Structure 1
Amino acid sequence: MAGGLLLGGALAALLTTALPAQGPTDGFEDPPPDKIVIKVATVNGSGCPAGTTAVAVSEDNTAFTVTYSDYLAQAGGNSDPTAFRKNCQLNLIVHVPQGFTYAIASADYRGFAALQSGATGTQRASYYFQGSPSTAFRTHPFNGPLNDNWQATDTTDWAQLVWAPCGVQRNFNINTELRVNAGTSSASKVSFMTMDSTDGDISTVYHMAWKECPGK
């Protein structure tokens, strides 16, 4: 059997949108039927102060949502000199049924950007398992003038997915970053970039891909 579940970020209407079923050659396989447990080991970073981050697993245990409420980078005007870059690193403990492994196939990010002419913004993310030399990086640049919602999707080809090691518990790390550079914009005007939704929170849902471990 093969299938794929795609959950959007930010907007609630997209949180239950499903992709049509796909064949194994498309890179998505059905998740194992037993319960998947995801717990937050640590949350660190200027974009996720204590009490502003939560992780929830979908009802069918095929994806997880990371929600923030205070994640904004800005530059220009009276902005704090350190406010141009905000980041958040999540260290997650993911338990999957015996004989299965998983990888993060893709992730959707949405937010709002108010970039003055000459200013730039960047959304960046990296994904890696604790102790693994393989780290996947994705970067999305944005140029001013821009005063609108933004969206970015990180997608990894099936052959390039970084899988959790079979039979070994390794914490999974997600490090996201927002960066704003005032550039040639007016020094008196503020440019900012945030990941947010209609209710003021950031909701990012990560798409999981599954496969059986060798010898199962």
Structure 2
Amino acid sequence: MTSLRRPLVGAAVTALLAVAAPAHADTVPTPPGRITVDVVGVNGSGCPQGTADVAAASDNTAFTVTYSDYLAQTGAGSGGTEFRKNCQLALRIHVPQGFTYAIARADYRGFAHLQRGAFGQERANYYFQGAAQSARTTHQFNGPYSDNWQASDRTEYADLVWAPCGEERNLNVNTELRVYAGSSNPQAQSFMSMDSTDGSVSTVYHFEWKQCTEV
């Protein structure tokens, strides 16, 4: 099975980091200083302890999550729960005083090998601690498929949910992969991954910035 997986090019991640957030009339430049992201909670079958790495981009435009053991599969040799993997991350994002942020876009990437008749799904949502969960988006890939995959979720500026000014609230990031045999041979293996063996494949969350009005 592993022989079917191919490496992805790290330059593509750099390109994703350079994608601008949705434009609007009151664009605020990225804040000065350095943004830091701390992982305060990890839970889920897709990110066993020590297999998810989080880092802020040096230009404060985004942060990345890199997984090293995130794969859902079905078919011969797969356990009954292997068709679904998920990861829940609680992140504490430290930003300069006087600024707040929202997640304007998220880019998810990986590799999938799906038999004819099988299909895979990537699902995700994110929300601030104490706030209602956002709607979960779903992207589906249908077999036959054996290639890199990419999915993006973009939020219009008017619909952005901002972190409360002057408060530190965890940002909860939830992702999920599912693979279904569908009408394919149930013994034929299909899988979908969102992991990287060399750190070149990352999920990218793009910031939108706003200056706080309160003193």
**For this structure pair, what is the TM-score category when the shorter chain's length is used for normalisation?**
0.7 to 0.9
- Structure 2: segments with no counterpart, 5+ residues: 1-7
Cα distance in 2, alignment partners of residues 22 and 193 from structure 1: 29
Normalising by structure 1, report the TM-score: 0.87
Aligned-pair distance for 1:202? 4.0
Q: CA deviation at 1:134?
A: 4.5
Bigger mean CA deviation after superposition, 10-19 or 117-126: 10-19
Deviates more, 1:84-93 or 1:197-206: 197-206
Residues in 2 aligned to 1:86 and 1:188: alpha-carbon distance in whole angstroms: 20
TM-score (norm 2): 0.87
Q: Which amino acid aligns with 1:51?
A: G
Match of 2:187, as an amino acid?
A: S
Structure 1 distance, partners of 2:204, 2:174, is 14
Matches within 5 A, 1:115-126: 115-126=114-125
Q: How many residue pairs were aligned?
A: 206
Root-mean-square deviation over aligned CA pairs: 2.1
- Is 1:15 matched up with 2:13? yes
Matched with 1:186 is: 185
Q: Which amino acid aligns with 1:15?
A: V
Instruction: Could you tell me which runs of 5 or more consecutive residues in structure 1 were left unpaired when the two chains were aligned.
Output: 1-9
Alignment map for 1:27-176 (pairs within 5 Å): 29-176=28-175
**Cα deviation 1:28-48 (Å, max 9, x = unaligned):** 531111332211101111001
Contact 2:10 / 2:200 at 8 angstroms: preserved in 1?
A: no
CA distance in 1, matches of 2:179, 2:20: 37
How far apart, in 2, do the equivalents of 1:147 and 1:132 lie?
Answer: 38
1:11 aligned partner, one-letter code: V
Letter of the 1:44 partner, please give it: N
Are 2:9 and 2:200, in contact at CA under 8 Å, matched by a contact in 1? no
Give the letter for the 1:38 counterpart.
V
Which whole-Å CA distance do the structure 2 matches of 1:108 and 1:123 have between them? 11
Which of 177-186 and 55-64 deviates more? 55-64
On the 8 A contact 1:110/1:197 being kept in 2, the answer is no
Are 1:22 and 1:28, in contact at CA under 8 Å, matched by a contact in 2? no
Give the residue type in structure 2 aligned to 1:71: Y
Identity within the alignment, % = 61
